[in-house]
Structure 1
Amino acid sequence: MIPADFEVRVYTVVRQIPRGKVTTYGQIAYMIGFPKNARLVGATLKHSKRDQITPCHRVVNAAGRLVPGWEEQRELLLLEGITFKENGHVKMKDHFWQ
Structure 2
Amino acid sequence: MNRTLNEELIYEILSVVEEIPVGKVATYGQIAGLIGRERNARLIGRVLSMAEFYGRYPCHRVVNQAGRLAPGWKEQRGLLEGEGVPMKNETHVAIKLYQWEC
Does TM, scored on the shorter chain, surpass 0.5? Answer: yes
The amino acid of 1:13's aligned partner reads: V
Residue identity (%): 48
Q: Unpaired runs of 5+ in structure 1? A: none
Select 1:16's aligned residue among 19, 22, 28. Answer: 19
Instruction: Kindly report which structure 2 residues correspond to 1:41-56, keeping only aligned pairs within 5 A, or say none.
Output: 41-49=44-52, 53-56=56-59
Q: Supply the distance in 2 between the matched residues of 1:95 and 1:20 (Cα, whole angstroms).
A: 7
Instruction: Kindly report which structure 2 residues correspond to 1:1-98, keeping only aligned pairs within 5 A, or say none.
Output: 1-2=2-3, 4=6, 5-49=8-52, 53-97=56-100, 98=102
Alignment RMSD, CA only?
1.9
The count of residues paired between Structure 1 and Structure 2 equals 98
TM-score, with length taken from structure 1: 0.91
Shift of 1:86: 2.8
Q: Unpaired runs of 5+ in structure 2? A: none
